Structure 1
Amino acid sequence: MAILKTPDDLGSLIRQRRKALGWDQARLAHDAGVSRQWVIEVEKGKPRAELQLVLRVMNVLGIPLTASTPVVNREADVPQVDINEIVDRHRSPRG
């Protein structure tokens, strides 16, 4: 699984998958319905590539798009408090 952080990362992933399939840029362009120039630019990490076309190319190449978010453990962020222990500690002795 690749972690993509930049347009260059995405371009590299697309190029690697295309080459693994033994396709040239013209074949990918034809199958995805984009120009060969567009394939060249996205493989170079063009930052303004249209998302719809990027997703279409990924689909043609069989690259699944998955997303995940960090799991936030809210209980770990909040200290556990024992109210009975606090009350007992601050209770003044009677008598």
Structure 2
Amino acid sequence: MFIRTPADLGAVIRDRRRQLKLDQAAFAKRIGVSRQWVIEIERGHPRAELGLVLRALDALNIRIDVDADQTVRRRAHGAVDINAIVDKAKRPGHDQ
């Protein structure tokens, strides 16, 4: 999946929260934020504090894996192709 915008990230967070059967209030309490913060991040608020976003992703077991030295295929608009990163990491002989 490509995450290109804050709205894309919000959708991922919302979908995973729902998969885990957490309501917004319970999720907010788990990560130490207000329910309003959860509402805003799920709606794609573009100015959410990075530390809180990372805490939210961690609470949902959503992992971000970045290899700064890796060449990544990009679409014309510059989005990172996560599938290409995963495919390369799964190839035999890839250092892990």
TM-score scaled by length of structure 2: 0.69
How much does 1:70 deviate?
2.6
How much does 1:66 deviate?
1.5
- Looking at secondary structure, tell me which structure has more helix per residue: 1
State how far apart, in whole Å, the 1-side matches of 2:4 and 2:66 are.
12
* Unaligned segments of structure 2, at least 5 residues: 74-96
Q: Does 1:16 align with 2:15?
A: yes
Alignment of 1:14-93 (within 5 A): 14-68=13-67, 69-71=70-72
What is the CA RMSD across the aligned residues, in angstroms? Answer: 1.5
Does the C-alpha gap of structure 1 residues 13 and 70 become closer, same or farther in structure 2, counting only changes over 3 Å?
same
Q: Secondary structure at the match of 2:58?
A: helix
AA paired with 2:2? I
Structure (1 or 2) with the larger CA radius of gyration: 1
Q: Secondary structure at the match of 2:7?
A: helix
AA paired with 1:34? V
How much does 1:71 deviate?
4.7
Identity level (%): 52
Q: Which has the higher contact order (CA 8 A, sep 6+)?
A: 2
TM-score scaled by length of structure 1: 0.70
User: Deviations along 1:29-82, whole A, 9 cap, x unmatched?
Assistant: 00000110000000000000000000000000110012244359xxxxxxxxxx
AA paired with 1:6? T
Which stretches of structure 1, 4 residues or longer, exceed 6 Å deviation after superposition? Answer: none
Q: How many residues align?
A: 71
Does the C-alpha gap of structure 1 residues 51 and 70 become closer, same or farther in structure 2, counting only changes over 3 Å?
same
